[in-house]
Amino acid sequence: MSNSVKDRILELRELLHKYSHAYYNLNTSIVPDAEYDNLYDELVELESKYPDFSDEHSPTQRVGERPLDKFLQFKHKLPMLSLEKAKTEDELTQFNKRISDSLDSNDEIEFCCEPKLDGVALSLHYQNGLLKRAVTRGDGLTGEDVTQNAKTIKSVPLKLFGKNHPVFLEVRGEAYIPLEKFELMNDRSVGSGEKSFANPRNAASGSLRQLDSKIASSRPLFFSAYSVGDFDGSDLQLDQYSHYRRLQQLQNIGLAVSPLLKKVKGIDAVIEYCHGILRKRDDLGFEIDGVVIKVDSLAQQQALGFVARAPRWAIAFKFPAQEQLTTLLDVEFQVGRTGAITPVARLAPVLVGGVTVSNATLHNQDEINRLSIKIGDTVTVRRAGDVIPQIVAVLTERRPLEARDIVFPSQCPVCGSAVERVTGEAVARCRGGLFCPAQLKESIKHFVSRKAMDIDGLGDKLVEQLVDQQLINTTADIYQLDMPALIGLDRMAEKSALKLLNAIKASCQTSLARFIYALGIREVGEATALNLAQHFGSLPALLNASLEQLLAVNEVGKIVAEHLQSFFAEPHNQQVITALQAAGINWPDIELQPASAQPLAGHTVVLTGTLISMGRDDAKARLQQLGAKVSGSVSAKTYAVVAGDNAGSKLAKATELNVPVWTEQQMLVLFSENGVA
């Protein structure tokens, strides 16, 4: 084998290590994704051509290996300890006093603070800079050897940067799964009939303890280092004074440390830090259960020593838990705009992560079956990030004798119409259509909403009153409202009534696209409505379209086409549309251009970065009006990339592939030249 091949292989490994550290651990991207992929492919090819030169620490070796029968036990050289806990500011102040007294120091102590990640502890062993072993915490004394799985975690370096590493270095940290990735992973498992995980911590622990590392490699595990454990080597480069500096060193040799890591002086600054993290908790993107506070000086740490199984120099400030036990009091069934019936759990109110929770969604019958839940059960509710509270588990052993089954209604709880469940779909629906007051209310709320007919002043409460008092029975009735009808309503004075009537009148001047969207046809969102308007140009053309004609519209597939057809075939809907037009709703004509005359016909355009003048969806719809196909990824075939603010890897890729890059301004000029401004 020639030396140049060998050098290239080494160079590729070095580059890929560097790029993936930047990407996974520093959240910056040095090169476009495509460049990374190209180098990676080149390395895979070279390694397979020259197997003599393979290396278990190559970046290509993260794909998982043969399944194990069981994990080997491994005894930690230094036990993996736990932390003392503080729940109040007072307890933090006492902690500070204990330390100051014990150190006999009048100076303010320096502390290193960081979020306490809610994952599983993992210990990584590096020998001369190479990852040799990864061990779970286990009982703190003995853990399991999960090396194969740890090697599949992209943020775990297989090889440390630089030279002169300690002969042995143990890095301790937390393996975890970010919230968004956790939701995706669970959706996927449920979709393929597998069981889901109750929370990201269980998912991380389950993934790390997979005997089949191929499965582990498909799990979105991350690793964040929080301390140096054991180490060995005399010409040691490790900092001898500060915990904070050691963590920086770990980052410099390729590990991830918390971006929120901070060194502060004095306990007041610690308390302030804790408040800051608590405020940010819902936006972090990963679950934390508190803040870990450590004395920064290694000399002071040593002087303070340990009590039982925890260091005296550290403490965990615990945040309110994001899972709590409560009781399922009842289940109500809510009916949405399209008739979808959602079971909603009514819970005994409970504080979860600092917020009172008294409702949680139960999604559908499948979820009820999966949980085997009954009314009266003790359940675990979970609230994290900004997602709706969920019931994640049932404590069947605490089930009371009088627990009742949850009976999914066979008739709509609001209008009494039949409930149907299409085979293959999880959702059950009321068949009452707009005869159902619940669906009617939701349809009207949608009809008047900002992106639809945009009737200002017609809020949810008012819609409910109007429907309940039977002042409106269809959306068309909105246009028959008058002063005497409105004046009789709650909290409606003459002035606001007049304002509302004006807003209703003003909404008559609209666009065909808004009108189509406002009808609330299933699966027809704004973008589809705009495509339909642009494609057919007039309402009659749309109403009379065949299935084939509908399928010819950009982004209209079989399901949407069928929803459109059944909506327009329904006599009641036809009557409402006629009545709406009779009430004066109108829109300017759309001149249809032959496809060939559209300036972007047959071309693919990619949007990236943040646009200033309009949202992504609006820009997309307008580009489509000009005939473009709008795609999410850049390739050599891309016609142009529109780059807004902070455009990242897609812009880089476009430049690399010589794809023209337009500014937002250039796109706007194109819009106005073609009358889609």
Asked if 289 and 323 touch (Cβ cutoff 8 Å), the reply is: no
The verdict on 304 binding ligand IVH (CB under 6 A) reads no
DSSP label at residue 426: S
Q: How far apart are CA 207 and CA 11, in angstroms?
A: 32
Of residues 206 through 235, those in contact with ligand IVH by CB under 6 A are 226-227
224/443 with CB nearer ligand IVH: 224
In the complex, the smallest distance separating the C-beta of residue 606 from ligand IVH, rounded to whole angstroms, is 39
The verdict on 376 binding ligand IVH (CB under 6 A) reads no
Q: How far apart are CA 369 and CA 522, in angstroms?
A: 27
86/314 with CB nearer ligand IVH: 314
Q: In the structure, how many helices (H) and strands (E) does the chain have?
A: 24, 26
Q: Kindly tell me which residue out of 34, 68, 81, 238 binds ligand IVH, with binding defined by CB under 6 A.
A: 81
Q: Which tokens hold the place of 304?
A: 């303070």
Of residues 128 through 187, those in contact with ligand IVH by CB under 6 A are 137, 174
226/273 with CB nearer ligand IVH: 226
The verdict on 311 binding ligand IVH (CB under 6 A) reads yes
114/442 with CB nearer ligand IVH: 114
Strand partners, 307: 310
212 φ/ψ angles, rounded to the nearest 5 degrees: -100, 110
Which active-site residues does the annotation give?
A: 116
139/366 with CB nearer ligand IVH: 139
149/227 with CB nearer ligand IVH: 227
Strand partners, 344: 332, 361
In the complex, the smallest distance separating the C-beta of residue 658 from ligand IVH, rounded to whole angstroms, is 46
For every residue of 246-315, DSSP letters joined together read HHHHHHHTT--B-TT-EEEESHHHHHHHHHHHHHHGGGSSS-EEEEEEEESBHHHHHHH-EETTEETTEE
The verdict on 82 binding ligand IVH (CB under 6 A) reads yes
298/556 with CB nearer ligand IVH: 298
Asked if 350 and 321 touch (Cβ cutoff 8 Å), the reply is: no
In the complex, the smallest distance separating the C-beta of residue 305 from ligand IVH, rounded to whole angstroms, is 12
Strand partners, 443: none
In the complex, the smallest distance separating the C-beta of residue 167 from ligand IVH, rounded to whole angstroms, is 23
The verdict on 260 binding ligand IVH (CB under 6 A) reads no
Of residues 91 through 120, those in contact with ligand IVH by CB under 6 A are 114, 116-117
Please choose, from the candidates 500, 444, 446, 487, the residue with its C-alpha nearest in 3D space to the C-alpha of residue 468: 444
Asked if 345 and 380 touch (Cβ cutoff 8 Å), the reply is: no
Helix, strand, coil percent content, the chain, rounded in steps of 5: 40, 20, 40
Taking the C-alpha atoms of 534, 536, 537 and 541 in order, what is their torsion angle to the nearest 10 degrees? -160
The verdict on 257 binding ligand IVH (CB under 6 A) reads no
The sheet that has 661-663: what strands, in order across it?
Answer: 629-631, 604-608, 640-643, 661-663
Q: Which tokens hold the place of 518?
A: 């406002």
In the complex, the smallest distance separating the C-beta of residue 154 from ligand IVH, rounded to whole angstroms, is 19
Q: Which tokens hold the place of 141?
A: 């004394």
Of residues 1 through 20, those in contact with ligand IVH by CB under 6 A are none
Span of 4-12, 309-317, 393-401, 428-436 interacting with ligand IVH by CB under 6 A? 309-317
Number of Cβ within 10 Å of residue 543's Cβ equals 15
Please choose, from the candidates 175, 172, 225, 239, the residue with its C-alpha nearest in 3D space to the C-alpha of residue 201: 175
The verdict on 514 binding ligand IVH (CB under 6 A) reads no
121/381 with CB nearer ligand IVH: 121
Q: Kindly tell me which residue out of 31, 135, 293, 314 binds ligand IVH, with binding defined by CB under 6 A.
A: 314
Chain position whose Cβ is nearest to ligand IVH: 121
In the complex, the smallest distance separating the C-beta of residue 296 from ligand IVH, rounded to whole angstroms, is 13
In the complex, the smallest distance separating the C-beta of residue 292 from ligand IVH, rounded to whole angstroms, is 4
The verdict on 292 binding ligand IVH (CB under 6 A) reads yes
Residue 251, C-beta contacts closer than 8 angstroms, at least 6 positions apart: 25, 26, 225, 257
In the complex, the smallest distance separating the C-beta of residue 20 from ligand IVH, rounded to whole angstroms, is 23
Q: Kindly tell me which residue out of 31, 83, 247, 497 binds ligand IVH, with binding defined by CB under 6 A.
A: 83
The verdict on 202 binding ligand IVH (CB under 6 A) reads no
What are the residues binding ligand IVH (CB under 6 A)? Answer: 81-83, 114, 116-117, 121, 137, 174, 226-227, 292, 311, 314, 316
